Structure 1
Amino acid sequence: MSSVYSEPSPAAPTSRHTLAVIVDNEPGVLARIAGLFSGRGYNIESLTVSETEHEKHLSRITIVTTGTEAEIEQIKAQLARLVPVHRVRDLSDEGPAIERELVLLKVVGQGDQRVEALRLAQAFGARTLDATLSSFIFEFTGALEDVERFIGIMADCGLVEVSRTGVAAMSRGAEAM
């Protein structure tokens, strides 16, 4: 009995995508969208939701996910088929989108560590929201790479707690959702 050996096919490349979804602002919509992702084994890296058109009771959901081009196309098609979904746009397909995230960081330290934390926060343009004799809470808003860098630097200055909002994104240019 002979066996035929074949090289495993290379995995399709994955990429990060930011999806903007306009939905009815009603109970259960977010659970249905999260269920769509979890039921198919897709990961949500970031998720933000807020009502954006009060009169029409519409909310905007911004989802950051990673997948192959085929997986992303499937996610977009499945999202578009959900009843409360009005529009789905892949901001990543439209060129570089404007993406920002807000982070709150609590840093605990004494002496030189405390002075260094304050100096670095000022260098990044972070706001000091709270200061005690042993801690600071800083607010920083920026691009994802800048947020990650700020968190990494503060880790060496006594970082004890982080709270992040998730990505808020918008495509460039005059066209609206």
Structure 2
Amino acid sequence: MRHTITVLVENEFGVLTRVAGLFSARGYNIESLNVAPIQDKTVSRMTIVTRGDERAIEQIKKQLNKLIPVIKVDDISHTVHLEREMLLVKVAASPESYNALLELADSFGAKVVDDHIDSHMILELTGKAQQLDEFLSRLSDFDVTAMTRTGPVGMRRDAKGFNLD
């Protein structure tokens, strides 16, 4: 089963390596990983997406909690939560394809972040993974020259925050 785990860690050298090493040592793949500081710049929030059965994920959570720079761990997979990804995609553009690209971007709510009518267009889309997948599928009619995705970031929908307590 797919799990989205959020982790608050001290924002210091080597933390990412230690967390990734914990997964690697147990033979688990990290499907996606996002890390960024929160309001308190001494703390970062990680969003880790992995797959495993409940027993294995419980073990991973326990091991994460034992790492010194880890402050808090939460598997939000079984809670009501939001997940979003961001996609940047570069598409070859020409005067002939330009309007069709704009229409497609508009229909998905994508933003044009770089625009050169005679060479390329860079589009940005934020949404659920399925929405990004559908957008990329529709872009297959065009010449996609580069793309990158963040992988999901997630947050519980309840009123309480996932902060330092």
Question: By the TM > 0.5 criterion, same fold?
Answer: yes
Gaps of 5+ in 2: none
Pair member with larger Rg: 1
Are the equivalent residues in 2 in contact too, given 1:116–1:157 (CA < 8 A)? Answer: no
Higher alpha-carbon deviation: 167-176 or 24-33: 167-176
RMSD between aligned alpha carbons?
A: 1.4
Number of aligned positions between the proteins? 161
Inter-partner Cα distance in structure 2 for 1:174 and 1:17 = 22
The answer on 1:81 being equivalent to 2:66 is yes
CA apart distance, 1:78: 1.1
Q: Percent identity?
A: 45
The answer on 1:99 being equivalent to 2:83 is yes
The answer on 1:130 being equivalent to 2:134 is no
> Which letter does structure 1 place at the counterpart of 2:7?
V
Deviations 1:29-58 (A, max 9, x none): 000001111121111111110110326x11
The equivalent of 1:72 in structure 2 is 57
Deviations 1:113-160 (A, max 9, x none): 443222111110101111111211001010111111112221221111
CA apart distance, 1:70: 1.5
The equivalent of 2:23 in structure 1 is 37
The answer on 1:144 being equivalent to 2:139 is no
Q: TM-score, normalised by structure 2?
A: 0.91
> Which letter does structure 2 place at the counterpart of 1:122?
D
Higher alpha-carbon deviation: 102-111 or 30-39: 102-111
SS at match of 1:93: coil
> Which letter does structure 1 place at the counterpart of 2:135?
F
Inter-partner Cα distance in structure 2 for 1:113 and 1:42 = 43
CA apart distance, 1:166: 2.3
> Which letter does structure 1 place at the counterpart of 2:158?
G
Gaps of 5+ in 1: 1-14
Inter-partner Cα distance in structure 1 for 2:31 and 2:40 = 27
